[in-house]
Every structure is written in structure tokens, then in C-alpha cells.
Structure 1
């Protein structure tokens, strides 16, 4: 896909990451910090992240966290930690969504399907170029630090994925990197035999046919039960709603705070909303309304609890807001929508 087309498609949604991947990753911050919540808050991640209450988090907040950890730990220690976390958390999570009954080539193709379905901001492919097969990943980002950190994470994942399905200390023949900076973390990944090319338009590893055509090999006792793959939200409004949802329990989020959490300027956020024909306040009201309706359908959750979870000062404020949006009080709505 040409880069300009991919950039245009990226502008049509808010980059999101599945919370099922990020929550265990954030929990591993306890390797260094007894109280991880100050780091979570500083990065702009929702405090509720570790409760697994929501489906998605903003990718920008995760990148903020990576930057904070890189500064805190230093390059070498951060690279070693990221390497261990990728091996122990992210690789098993992704392998659990792939059948792994065929060749290494098929496993990598299946992996690209998972990533491209779950994450629209990154495209991963197995492609042939220059008479070589490349495991390639493309994404566009302006911040040079974020380019380096996201590429380091991606390369770590790609290398360790091949090693996991071959049960070897595999090294790619060639490595292409988008970064123009020296990749200090290659030593941590034990990639001393690979030829490295910098300032490319993709992150890619060349893989021999002998490796690709070999059978998948896994550790003894691997649980072959497949986990569900969930497609990421389509469209700007849907992805924005999922990105902001985890923050709404603390009350109305000002547009300035929302823009900051998403790595956008207020003007850009307002422009994109205007193009969709909706204002920021209308979109926020919609999020609260959908949340309220979902919670009210569960008769075991008290209305007072729902009001508090949505950040309202008291039940009276919640009831007035809900009636304005639906035409019914919360209790009448609940009565009218109980199973017959």
C-alpha cells in the first residue's frame, strides 16, 4: 500500500490498542515500581486499565508510557525489559490466536491477519521483494522518539515470533529499519549476524525459504485453544468513543484533555468532529447515554451505582440527564426493557 494512501486511512480513525495486551504489560511495571499508578497517570493511561473493564486504550498513551520507561530505565535496561515482556506476554497472546498447525510461512501469514484486523494504524505483511521474502511492517509517525520506540517494540515482536514458532535462536538475513539512528537494542536481541539497513520506509526482516517452509514447532504443553480475534472499531467517531470511554467515569473530559490524551491538537480534533457532523459535547453525551443504557439493562446494578460509575455528582443529576436524552427516567427505562 502506498504510504500516502496509508496516511490518509490513518487520519480516519483514532489509533487504539487492545487492552487485553496492554493491561498485563502495564502490570509488569511492578518489576520496577511498587506503585504503578503515578506512571499510568503521567502517561495518560486510564486508572481503570488494570481492572480489564474496557476493550481499548489510546495508542498515544502507550507510546507516552514507553517514552517514560525508556527515560527512567536507560536504553540498555529498557531494551532488556522490553525483550523479556515481549517473550513472556505479547508473543504467547498472539500465538493463542493462530492455529499453528502448518508451516512457519502460514503461521506468519495468520499473524499478519490478526494484527491487521485488530490494529488499523499498523500494516504487517509477508511479501517478496528483491528476490527475498520479507516480514514487513509499515506505519507512519512524526515524532522521531516514537518512531524509534514503536519500531523497537515491533522488531522485538517480529524476531521473537519467528523464534517462538521455530524454537531456535533464529536471526534474519537482513534487517530494514525506518529509524536513521543506530539500533542499540540489536545486541539485546542477539542480532549480531544480520545485515542492517537504516532510513527505510518499512521495518522488515528477510527470511529464508528453508525457515518459512519448515513446520511450526512449539514448547511442549502448549495450549492449542484458539482465542477470539476482535476487529478494531471502524471510523473516526467509533474509535474516538472507544478511546475516551475509560476516562468518562471521572466525569466530563474537557476537549483540551481529550486532545492531549490522543496526541492531537484541539483544532484537529474539532475539525475531524465537524467533518463527521457532530460536536465534542454531543459525542460525549452519546458515550454517557450508551453506557447508561447498557448498565441499566442489568437489574442487579443499582441506579445510584450507575450514576456514580458515570461520574455524576448525584442520582438527581444523572436522572435529569438521562431523561433529557431518552425521554424516560432511568427507573422507567429499566422497567420498560426487562425481559418479558
Structure 2
């Protein structure tokens, strides 16, 4: 079946901006590769990916620009990710959950982009690959952007100065000495099976310091949105954790809607009732593990689990570490 790989115009704008600033014939180059004009007014629209990559390569060669992808990545910000992706990351109780959301949403940024997480003993690799581009020259420009956005996601949890121990490129490319000096503690690798950055396992359980975890991006005409409901449940459910936790049917009745309507509102923002309950339980248990010395088995009961083994598995699924490891890392 015919397919046209697409990318969001947002990712082409930094390259266009650099070219316009140095006086390059940007418009004629874009026309040559059949890219649309007036890109700055179309940042959330999509353009064909392969012509965009060829445009960037030709512009780099004709203007003799070194490390074009790195220069473009300096102009990108976390806010350039899709609003939906940023909302899912903001909802995430830990960095690990946020990275999973980013992997699931990757194809909405570039339609042929795939992202996944590879686990090792002391770190994970967040990998990315653009299908069908391996034979194109200078794909490192796109791979810079892929890696940088992974870095930006980690920085939402680890702080604005965080940098990966290793950054790797699928392309056979090594950044210049000047570029490497901007990342003094990062080791660069070339010619890998995918582009990736490494993240220490100790970072995976970090929580998002943002206070706008369930901010509502748009108004809804049919009453409260899924974001509103999620925020309300996060306030209400902690008081039930040490007793009988309300079922989905219970909370739907409290809200005065059917269980199906309640589920649909949450599903509209990619949430399920069980997701919110997991977040609330994790926030309670992580607080107790970090701030008190009570036994882990008592933490599990206080967080609404009747089976300590179930608690340990659920905690590790969200944080990437066991409750005991989390407590040790937090001290």
C-alpha cells in the first residue's frame, strides 16, 4: 500500500529559521523539494518527511553548516511536543510511565517514528528509529531531534540540567569537538542499530514536580472533562485507601452518571479508572517509603493493597524499582 511518511512542521521550523538568519535562499530550496511555504503559520500541521530530510541535507551542503541537527535542536523546546503527549507526561506518576507514554505517542510526531525502551542492569536506553530512512545521507539531523526530545522528557523529572551518560546515533556520525563541548559529560556513539540515550535506573522512579498534573487544555461542552474527573479522583481516593476502595460503579454513581459514560470521559484522555487508582496508591506508598520508617508490608496495607506481593509488583511496574530499592535511593 502506498505510504507518505509525515512529520510535524514544528520540527522543520528550527532548520528554516537558521537558514533565513544567514540569508540562504530558503524559499526556493523549499519550493525545489515541494515543501509548503509560510511554515511558521503551520507548526501543528504535517509535511512529507523524506523531502524535508533532503531539503535539510541540501541546505547543509550548500551553506556549509556543520552539525546542522545540533544547531536546530538548540532551538527546540519541550513545548514543541504535541499537547496530547505533554499532557500524558504530566499525568505520569514517574519518569518510567512518562517514557512509556512517549513511546506510544511517537508515531503522532512522525508517522514512521518508533520509540521503545531497552532495559539493562544499571540503566535503560530510550531508542528511536525512523523507518525507511537508513539509506538516506545525514539522517543524524533528525536523530538529533529524536534524542533531544527524550532528554527534554527526562528533564521534566530530573531537572533542567540533566544530561544522558551516552547519546548514540544510528547514522555514522560523530559531533564536532565544538558540539561535544556543549555536552561535556556525554559519550557519543555512531553507527548504532537505533538512536538512543541512556538513563540511569535510579532516575526512573522520579516524580514530576509539575503542579499542573491534570490541566485541562480545552473546554468541554458536555460537562466535566476526563481531566476534571481525574483531578477530583486524585483528591478523593486517598481517604479510602486504608478501607474499602470505591469501585468504578461506585464513583460513577457519586458523579451522577452511568459507568459507561464515566469510562468514556476518562478514555477520551487516555485514562482508565484503574490508572488513576494506581497513581494514587503509588503517590501514597512512595511518600511513606521516602518520609517514614514504617515496614514495607505496612506501607502496602496503607496504600490499599491486601497482598504485599501485589503491591511490590505494582510499585515496580510504575517506578522501575522495588519498594526497598526506592527507599534506599530516596535516603
Which TM bucket (shorter chain)? Answer: 0.5 to 0.7
In 1, distance between residues paired with 2:34 and 2:110?
20
Deviation at 1:133, TM superposition (A): 1.3
- Give the structure 2 partner of residue 110 of structure 1: 101
- Give the structure 1 partner of residue 37 of structure 2: 47
Give the number of equivalent residue pairs.
215
- Give the structure 1 partner of residue 116 of structure 2: 125
- Give the structure 2 partner of residue 81 of structure 1: 71
- Give the structure 2 partner of residue 145 of structure 1: 137
CA 174–47 in structure 1, closer or farther in 2 if over 3 Å, else same: closer
Residue 193 (structure 2) pairs with residue 201 (structure 1): yes
1:64-79 correspondence to structure 2 within 5 Å: 64-71=54-61, 72=63, 74-76=65-67, 78-79=68-69
CA 40–183 in structure 1, closer or farther in 2 if over 3 Å, else same: same
Which residue of 30, 50, 55 corresponds with 1:60?
50
- Give the structure 2 partner of residue 285 of structure 1: none
**Gap regions ≥5 residues in structure 2:** 219-331
- Give the structure 1 partner of residue 153 of structure 2: 161
- Give the structure 2 partner of residue 171 of structure 1: 163
SS of structure 2 residue aligned to 1:86: coil
In 2, distance between residues paired with 1:30 and 1:83?
16
Decide whether the 8 Å contact of 2:73 with 2:144 is kept in 1. Answer: no
**Gap regions ≥5 residues in structure 1:** 1-10, 228-340
1:242-321 correspondence to structure 2 within 5 Å: none
CA 81–180 in structure 1, closer or farther in 2 if over 3 Å, else same: closer
Decide whether the 8 Å contact of 1:167 with 1:217 is kept in 2. Answer: no
Query: What is the CA deviation profile of residues 43-64 of structure 1, one whole-angstrom value per residue up to 9, with x for unaligned ones?
Result: 3202364553994311012112
Deviation at 1:40, TM superposition (A): 2.0
CA 186–175 in structure 1, closer or farther in 2 if over 3 Å, else same: farther
In 1, distance between residues paired with 2:212 and 2:60?
35
Question: Which one scores higher on RCO, CA 8 angstroms, separation ≥ 6?
Answer: 1
Deviation at 1:192, TM superposition (A): 2.8
- Give the structure 2 partner of residue 135 of structure 1: 126
Deviation at 1:170, TM superposition (A): 1.5
Alignment root-mean-square deviation, CA: 3.7
Is the deviation greater in 32-41 or in 193-202?
32-41
CA 24–197 in structure 1, closer or farther in 2 if over 3 Å, else same: closer
Decide whether the 8 Å contact of 1:23 with 1:52 is kept in 2. Answer: no
Deviation at 1:137, TM superposition (A): 0.8
- Give the structure 1 partner of residue 274 of structure 2: none
Query: What is the CA deviation profile of residues 295-317 of structure 1, one whole-angstrom value per residue up to 9, with x for unaligned ones?
Result: xxxxxxxxxxxxxxxxxxxxxxx
Decide whether the 8 Å contact of 1:97 with 1:114 is kept in 2. Answer: no
Decide whether the 8 Å contact of 2:82 with 2:109 is kept in 1. Answer: no
